[in-house]
Amino acid sequence: MPAVDALVCFALYAANRTTTQAYRVLLEPWNLTYPQYIALVTLWNDGEQTVGSLGEALQLDSGTLSPMLARMEASGYVVRRRDDDDERVVIVSLTARGVEMREELAHVPQCIAYGAGLTDADSARELIDALHQLTEAMKGLRDQPDTVLAALGAPRRAKAASRRRSA
């Protein structure tokens, strides 16, 4: 048991990768990855939408989404078309096959919940809340590192970080 184990962030890092591995096994028959799966979930729930709004939902930028959506289009799950009213915007929609997948994959969240022992909603809620709290705190640190560094009397970084994009 290494020392990094004591760090919350390593536990988070390890849990995230193991979870992705579990999804990989479940999604493999459909040639889907976890990021592709959550994109599908979003489309199932919210309907067709632009690359931008999908990126906002998943917190991913076009550098990640463009190639991923191209692969999903190649798999026949979604289609992309330019918006007639604004040619800059690309609208992502589910194909008939993509809609079908919703029922075919209905077992996945159940399987994860059951496998994770998250049968009772309260413990899941607690974990989700803790993760959201951590996420918000880390956003603060990411965007205002100098504030925290100053509070600790630590060496100030040389220059402001490069601009972060909306995603």
**Which residue from 88, 152, 163, 165 is in contact with a copy of itself, where contact means CB under 8 A?**
152
- State which residue, 82 or 141, has the beta carbon closest to a copy of itself: 141
Closest to 53 (Cα-Cα) out of 20, 16, 93: 93
Q: What is the binding site for DNA (CB under 7 A)?
A: 13, 17, 20-21, 24, 33-36, 50-52, 55, 59-71, 80, 85-90, 162-167
The minimum distance between CB 92 and DNA, in angstroms, equals: 8
Give yes or no for a contact between 69 and 39, defined as CB atoms under 8 angstroms apart: yes
Footprint of a copy of itself on residues 90-119 (CB under 8 A)? 107, 109-112, 114-118
Provide the 8-state DSSP code for 29: G
**Which residue from 2, 96, 122, 166 is in contact with a copy of itself, where contact means CB under 8 A?**
2
The minimum distance between CB 57 and a copy of itself, in angstroms, equals: 4
Give yes or no for a contact between 92 and 54, defined as CB atoms under 8 angstroms apart: yes
List the Cα angle 72/12/3 in 5-degree steps.
Answer: 140
List the Cα angle 144/20/141 in 5-degree steps.
Answer: 5
